Structure 1
Amino acid sequence: MPIPTRRSRTARRGPAFRLREIAFGLGLVVIVVCGVGLTFKAALGEGDNLPAAVLATVALGVVAAAVVRGGRRRRRGPGPAAVAGVDAVEAARGRAEVQYAEVQYTEAQPVETEPAEPAPAEAASVDYAAMDPDTFERSIAELCERDGCVEVQVVGGAGDLGADVIATTPDGRCVVIQCKRYGPANKVGSQDVQRFGGTCYAVHGAQVAAVVTTGEFTEPAAEYADQCGILCVDHQALTAWADGTGPAPWDHVPAV
């Protein structure tokens, strides 16, 4: 902020300031004249009062000089220290404005967040073909329990009469499953399906009958199963059932 000069400040004060200066000067003249008069009066009167009159005159002169000097100082305007103080205030104000602008800019910037960690890949499908026959039967029973079946039993073994897993579906039907853990080179033939078809309904009272294998079915086996109402679940259908991407065997047969 620019500091006004003496000339510009005086010009702004106008006639009122000049009248105050004239009155101030007349007051000084009156003080000096009074002092001189008192001095001569004391000199013409008693000589003992002369030193006192001289001292009074000198004191009046000192007072007048001090008043004149003070008036001059007031008219000179602010000194270098005042100007330096104003400059310091302006500089501090400028720094504060810059800091405020930086803070506003920082707050306006989008906050960077750490990228989310990628979701772990889904677990690989269970390799049912690598299981032994007993483990495979228990795994099929666990799938039945997972999908809401109750009273799940693993009955495979000697004298099982073709049934390996028996359970009750969520809607109350009896499901009978025969498990065939075969390798890629082996297929479930029609004789396997026929033996199962002769006992699943008559002996076990199946309302849903299914043959589940880790391999595939021959064409005659699939035709016989279709005629008897037996579901053929090959390795692809088993994988879909286990992964949850395909239906459970009993979902293929509508409830009566």
Structure 2
Amino acid sequence: MAVPARARRTARRSRRFELRATAVYFVLLALILALVGAAARTAAAAAVHRPAWAVALVLMGVGAVMAGYRGKRRISAARIARRAAEALDEATQTAVEALEAASPAPAVGLVPAGAGACGDRLGTEPTILLPETETETETETVPEAPADTVEIAYEVLDPYEFEEAVAELCRRDGCLDVEVVGGAGDLGADVVARTPDGRSVVIQCKRYCDGNRVGSQDLQRFGGTCFTVHGADVAVVVTTSDFTAPALDYAEQCGIVCVDGPQLERWQEGRGPLPWEPQPSAG
């Protein structure tokens, strides 16, 4: 009796082996493609900063491929994966070094030695810039105004300070025996002095606001004492404000010198005639 032969499973086993190899092949192929893509991106980034490295890597790859074809060696999937991993690691190191070398160094404030005027030859050694000293920086010297031209706001002074300021102007302009005598019972005289040529000067000071003008009654009271009581050769009324028209008429008739605010400013600045000097006519 013939014994039935068992069905062989060689074909099935061979089929299982081919499916497993195919799966492993595709997995390795996907891994290789991923590694190749990563290597390509890394190489592209490195090529931007170090083109020489990129050219060297391309030449190495071409040489490896040509050597493989010439030797007719069978390259296994594991060897390809291993070499791809090594190439990826080397490309990564190269990219990192390229990026570190390409990062800009902090500025240290250096200039080439020998840089100077136009036409000078520039040197190659760096020179550290030093801060300028005070001797190297030009400073403008502003001349101070002399004491006799310092502007004084007479309108903010009190009456006694105003009298002292007028007396100081007389001293500045050469008057002698200058004295402030204003007060109760002064009979209209606030400052008395002697001119450089020996004449007696009697000054009445009126520190008024702009809206308060010196009137004719003030002039009449001063005119009644300046000549007869004080024996003035020159009688002067100085005000920070102005005079009314009747006051100016009376002063002209009696020979009293009127110095208003603008004339006081010119006297203080030394731009106008002194009160005891001949005065310009109104015309």
Q: TM-score range by the shorter chain?
A: 0.5 to 0.7
Question: 229, 234, 237: which is aligned to 1:211?
Answer: 237
Residue of 249, 258, 272 corresponding to 1:246 = 272
Among 253, 258, 268, the residue aligned to 1:227: 253
| Matched-pair identity in % | 61
Deviation at 1:224, TM superposition (A): 0.4
**1:228–1:130 distance in 2 versus 1, CA, 3 Å:** same
Q: 1:168 aligns with which of 194, 208, 231?
A: 194
Cα contact 1:154–1:165 (8 A) shared by 2:
yes
Report the 3-state secondary structure (helix = DSSP H, G, I; strand = E; otherwise coil) of the residue aligned with 1:187. Answer: coil
Deviation per CA, 1:147-168, whole angstroms, max 9, x where unpaired?
A: 1111111111110011100000
Residue 185 of structure 1: which of 186, 197, 211 is its match?
211
Cα displacement string for residues 142-189 of structure 1 (whole angstroms, at most 9, x for unaligned residues): 111111111111111110011100000011000000000000110000
Structure 1 partner of 2:174: 148
Partner of residue 132, structure 2:
none
Per-residue CA shift, 1:76-129, capped at 9, x if unaligned?
xxxxxxxxxxxxxxxxxxxxxxxxxx9xxxxxxxxxx95754545787621101
Report the equivalent of 2:27.
none
The residue number in structure 2 matching 1:128 is 154
CA distance in 2 between counterparts of 1:202 and 1:121 reads 42
Equivalent residue for 2:96?
A: none
The corresponding residue for 2:183 is 157
Q: Across the two proteins, how many residue pairs are aligned to each other?
A: 146
Aligned-residue offset at 1:252: 2.6
Following the alignment from structure 2 to structure 1, what is the Cα–Cα distance between the partners of residues 175 and 150? Answer: 24
Runs of 4+ in 1 over 3 A off after TM superposition: 113-124
Point out the structure with max Rg over C-alpha. 1
**What SS is found at the alignment partner of 1:217?**
coil
For structure 2, list consecutive stretches of 5 or more residues without a partner in the other structure.
Answer: 1-119, 121-136
Q: Quick check: 2:174–2:195 contact (8 Å CA) kept in 1?
A: yes
Give, as a single letter, the amino acid of the residue that structure 1 aligns with 2:246.
P
1:99-118 matches, cutoff 5 A = 114=138, 116-118=140-142
Return the offset for 1:247.
Answer: 2.0
The verdict on how the C-alpha distance between 1:114 and 1:242 changes in structure 2, with shifts beyond 3 A counting, is: same
- 2-side partners of 1:243 and 1:169: how far apart? 19
- 1:124 & 1:165 partners in 2: Cα distance? 21
| Alignment TM-score, normalising by the size of structure 1 | 0.52
* Structure 1 CA distance for aligned equivalents of residues 188 and 138 of structure 2: 58
Q: Distance in 1 between matches of 2:209 and 2:230?
A: 28
Aligned partner of 2:117 in structure 1 is: none
Distance 1:133 1:217 in 2: 18
Q: Are the counterparts in 2 of residues 208 and 253 from structure 1 also a CA contact under 8 Å?
A: no
Q: Structure 2: how far apart are the matches of 1:121 and 1:197?
A: 38
Superposed CA RMSD in Å reads: 2.7
Over 3 Å counting, the alpha-carbon distance change for 1:121 and 1:153 in structure 2 is: closer
* Mapped partners of 2:194, 2:159: distance in 1: 22
Contact 1:213 1:233 survives alignment (8 Å): yes
Unmatched 5+ stretches in structure 1: 1-101, 103-112
Distance 1:209 1:121 in 2: 31
Once residues 183 and 253 of structure 2 are traced to their aligned partners in structure 1, the CA distance between those partners, rounded to angstroms, is: 27
- C-alpha distance in structure 1 between counterparts of 2:150 and 2:223, whole Å: 34
- 1:195 — aligned with what? 221
Counterpart residue type for residue 268 of structure 2: A
| TM-score of the pair, normalised by structure 2 | 0.48
Would the alpha carbon gap of residues 199 and 121 (structure 1) be closer, same or farther in structure 2, given more than 3 Å must change? closer
Determine the C-alpha separation between the residues in 1 that align with 2:272 and 2:157.
22
Conserved? CA contact 2:189–2:226, under 8 Å: yes
CA positional deviation for 1:244:
1.2
